[in-house]
C-alpha cells in the first residue's frame, strides 16, 4: 500500500526528504516519489507541459503502481493530483492536497505566477530566479523558507527545462482556465480526501476559499497552524502526524 508523493514548482523530489524521514518514524516505509517532467525529471520528447499534460503523466505513473495508493500532492503536485482524480478518482484509495483553493472561482494567481504568465516579463523573471550558480540558487531557496540541506539538494534541478515548464504550465493555467477546472472538484469526493491547510501559506487563496474548496471536494481539513507553503520542510513531524492519522482513520 504505497504512499505516493508528488511535488510542485520550483522543486525536485528532495523537498520531501524531511517528511519521508518523519513518516518512517511512524512506520510508513513504502513511499514513492513521483517527479513531474521538468521538475527534477527529464522532459520526454513530445511532452506538453500543460495542465492536461501533467494530468495524463500522473495517471500513467499511477497505473504502473500496485495499489491501494494513498496520494499526496503539494503545490503544482497538488494541482496534478486534483486534475488527475477529477478524471479518474478510482485510481487511489485516498488523497491529500494543499492547494485546493486555487480551484475556487474567485482565486487570483499570486504575483509570481502573474509575472510568469506575462510574455517577456515571464522569461526574464524565471531566468533570473532559476538561473545562476549553485550557490545563488541555494541562497534564493533559503529566502523562500527552504532549509539549507533541502535547498542544496534541489539546486541542481533549477535548470532551463524547469524554466520552460514553469512558463508553459502557468500560462496554460491562467484564469479563467484553472477556475473552469475547479467546476469538477466535487468528483474528488469519490475517494476519501484530506485538505492540508497551512495557515501561513499565501499562495493558494485565503482560509475561507480553501475551506470552501475542501467542502466541495468532500475532504476533511487538517489545519497546520503557523506553517507556510513548505510545511513539509518547516515541520515534517507535524505533517507526518496529520497524514498518518488520516490514513489510520481509513483503516478503521
pLDDT for position 109: 97
Residue 135: how many other CB atoms lie within 10 Å: 10
| pLDDT at site 1 | 82
Q: Does 185 reside within a domain?
A: yes
Q: Residue 144's pLDDT is what? A: 87
> Which residues contact residue 214 at a Cβ distance below 8 angstroms, ignoring those fewer than 6 apart?
100, 193, 195, 197, 220, 221
Residue 232, pLDDT score: 98
The beta strands (E) that lie in 128-192 are given as none
Question: Is-above-0.75 flag for pTM?
Answer: yes
Residue 135 in any domain: the answer is no
Using DSSP's 3-state secondary structure scheme, residue 230 falls into: coil
Look-up of cell digits 534564493? 140
Sign of CA dihedral 178, 181, 186, 192: negative
- Domain annotation covers residue 25: yes
The total of structural domains in the chain comes to 1
User: CATH no. for residue 207?
Assistant: 3.40.50.1820
**Residue 21 covered by a domain:** yes
For each of the chain's 252 residues, which pLDDT tens digit applies?
Answer: 899 999 999 999 999 999 999 999 999 999 999 999 999 999 999 999 999 999 999 999 999 999 899 999 999 999 999 999 999 999 999 999 999 999 999 999 999 999 999 999 999 999 999 999 999 999 999 998 899 999 999 999 999 999 999 999 999 999 999 999 999 999 999 999 999 999 999 999 999 999 999 999 999 999 999 999 999 999 999 999 999 999 999 975
Domain that holds residue 244: 3-107+178-251
d(CA 167, CA 96): 26
Q: Is 163 a member of any domain?
A: no
The answer to the question of residue 118 being in a domain is: no
Q: How many CB atoms lie within 10 A of CB 240?
A: 21
The reported pLDDT for the residue numbered 67 is: 86
Amino acid at each position: 500500500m504505497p504512499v505516493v508523493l508528488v511535488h510542485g514548482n520550483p522543486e525536485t523530489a528532495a523537498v520531501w526528504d524531511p517528511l519521508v524521514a518523519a513518516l518512517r518514524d511512524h512506520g510508513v516505509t513504502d513511499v514513492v516519489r513521483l517527479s513531474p517532467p521538468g521538475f527534477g525529471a527529464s522532459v520526454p520528447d513530445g511532452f506538453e507541459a500543460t495542465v492536461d499534460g501533467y494530468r495524463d503523466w500522473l495517471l500513467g505513473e499511477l497505473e504502473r503502481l500496485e495499489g491501494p495508493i494513498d496520494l499526496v500532492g503539494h503545490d503544482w503536485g497538488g494541482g496534478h493530483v486534483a486534475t488527475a482524480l477529477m478524471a479518474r478518482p478510482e485510481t487511489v484509495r485516498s488523497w491529500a492536497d494543499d492547494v485546493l483553493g486555487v480551484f475556487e472561482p474567485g482565486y487570483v494567481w499570486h504575483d509570481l505566477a502573474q509575472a510568469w504568465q506575462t510574455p517577456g516579463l515571464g522569461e526574464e523573471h524565471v531566468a533570473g530566479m532559476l538561473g545562476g550558480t549553485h550557490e545563488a540558487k541555494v541562497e534564493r531557496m533559503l529566502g523562500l523558507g527552504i532549509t539549507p540541506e533541502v535547498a542544496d539538494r534541489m539546486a541542481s534541478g533549477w535548470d532551463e527545462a524547469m524554466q520552460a515548464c514553469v512558463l508553459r504550465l502557468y500560462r496554460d493555467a491562467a484564469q479563467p482556465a484553472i477556475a473552469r477546472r475547479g467546476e469538477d472538484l466535487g468528483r474528488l469526493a469519490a475517494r476519501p480526501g484530506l485538505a492540508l491547510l497551512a495557515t501561513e501559506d499565501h499562495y493558494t487563496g485565503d482560509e475561507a476559499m480553501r475551506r470552501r474548496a475542501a467542502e466541495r471536494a468532500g475532504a476533511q481539513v487538517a489545519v497546520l497552524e503557523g506553517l507556510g507553503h513548505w510545511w513539509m520542510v518547516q515541520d515534517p513531524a507535524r505533517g507526518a502526524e496529520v497524514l498518518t492519522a488520516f490514513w489510520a482513520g481509513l483503516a478503521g
